[in-house]
Amino acid sequence: MTEANSPSVVFLSGDLMFASRVRGAAEQSGYQFRFGASLPEGDLSSVKFVIVDLATRSKLIPTIVSEVVNRCGGARLIAYAPHVQMDRIKAAREAGVPVVLTRGQLDGSLGTLFSDLPK
């Protein structure tokens, strides 16, 4: 498998500090890590997880569910926000994001999050 076709995690955020934690967990589980403000261009069939930081990328919520379905196949979509941003958490749930967590819940699950799905 080439790097472009390796299973990957796309992390959509503006938080470089937390991105390093997610990157470490993803790479430890054998995934390539992509960081950005929106889904990258090109073939995204190798993407297994798309994680959206609602604190910095909440404007993606109206379209992200359909974008992930159409461009990333069976990727697992996860959105998260600080526990004090309940309006963003609620909006993500209402938009159909299947997994919406607080930042603490996501952080606490990083040790096992990427081992849940076969690559």
Distance CA 52, CA 60 (A): 8
* CA gap 60, 75 in Å, rounded: 16
Query: What is the tens place of the pLDDT at every residue in 21-32?
Result: 999 999 999 999
pLDDT tens sequence across 81-110:
999 999 999 999 999 999 999 999 999 999
Beta-bridge mates of residue 34: 10
Is 7 a residue whose pLDDT tops 90? yes
DSSP state of 86: H
pLDDT tens profile 24-67: 999 999 999 999 999 999 999 999 999 999 999 999 999 999 99
Please check the confidence at residue 5 and state whether its pLDDT lies above 80: no
pTM: 0.92
Token pair, residue 71, equals 């461009």
Stretch 1-26: mean pLDDT, rounded? 88
